Amino acid sequence: MRVILLEDVPNVAKAGEIKEVADGYGRNFLIPRKLALLAKPGIANEIEVQRQIQARQQEKMETDLQKLASDLEGKEITLKAKVGATEKLYGSITTADIAAELENATGAVIDKKKIEMDEPIRQLGSYEVVIKLARDIAPTIKVTVTEREPE
């Protein structure tokens, strides 16, 4: 049975390849799990067009992320917080606080899950924070925590 794989299947083939597989394997495993389609003459062209569209979208997204990373790289934001006697904060500065301040400062919406911090910031000072936008795109910003003026 000739099938066109829709996703990578270990020890068989990569997505988009046309492969000859056993009838039972194709009919009972690959096709029901939507890992492959039966290879018909017109389907190969459709899948190639879809793959090209996805490649263009991926390329555009990477370009946009690179531009965002260059805008964010070296950016410095300042957060104000209530402070106790020993320069410890009441509460802490979390990734959500940093994401909100970045949105105010740059207009770019950054998901708080993409901001990497070992633990929340609990003291005054300056900190280097990495924002992991993609696998190999990770700009670093500087977060400065200062004391809020008493009211």
Q: What is the CATH number of the domain that holds 24?
A: 3.40.5.10
Q: Are residues 106 and 41 in the same domain?
A: no
Q: Are residues 84 and 120 in the same domain?
A: yes
User: With left for phi above 0 and alpha for psi between -120 and 50, is residue 107 left, alpha or beta?
Assistant: left
CA angle at 73 for the pair 112 and 103, rounded to the nearest 5°: 40
**Contact of 101 with 145, CB cutoff 8 Å:** no
Final residue in a domain of this structure, among 47, 62, 77: 62
Q: Are residues 140 and 86 in the same domain?
A: yes
Q: Are residues 78 and 48 in the same domain?
A: no
Q: Are residues 79 and 39 in the same domain?
A: no
- Structural domain boundaries enclosing 57: 2-62
Stated pTM of the model: 0.68
Q: Are residues 76 and 56 in the same domain?
A: no
Q: What pLDDT, on the 0 to 100 scale, is given for residue 25?
A: 93
Nearest to 148 by CA among 109, 70, 93: 93
Nearest to 133 by CA among 71, 53, 54, 56: 71
For the chain, how many structural domains are there in total?
A: 2
Q: Are residues 37 and 74 in the same domain?
A: no
Q: What pLDDT, on the 0 to 100 scale, is given for residue 74?
A: 86
Final residue in a domain of this structure, among 13, 30, 62: 62
Q: What pLDDT, on the 0 to 100 scale, is given for residue 131?
A: 93
Q: Are residues 47 and 116 in the same domain?
A: no
**Contact of 91 with 148, CB cutoff 8 Å:** no
Q: Are residues 41 and 87 in the same domain?
A: no
Final residue in a domain of this structure, among 29, 62, 95: 62
Q: What pLDDT, on the 0 to 100 scale, is given for residue 27?
A: 93
pLDDT along the chain (151 residues), means of 10: 89 86 93 90 78 91 91 90 86 92 88 91 92 90 89 68
The CATH number of the domain holding residue 77 is 3.10.430.100
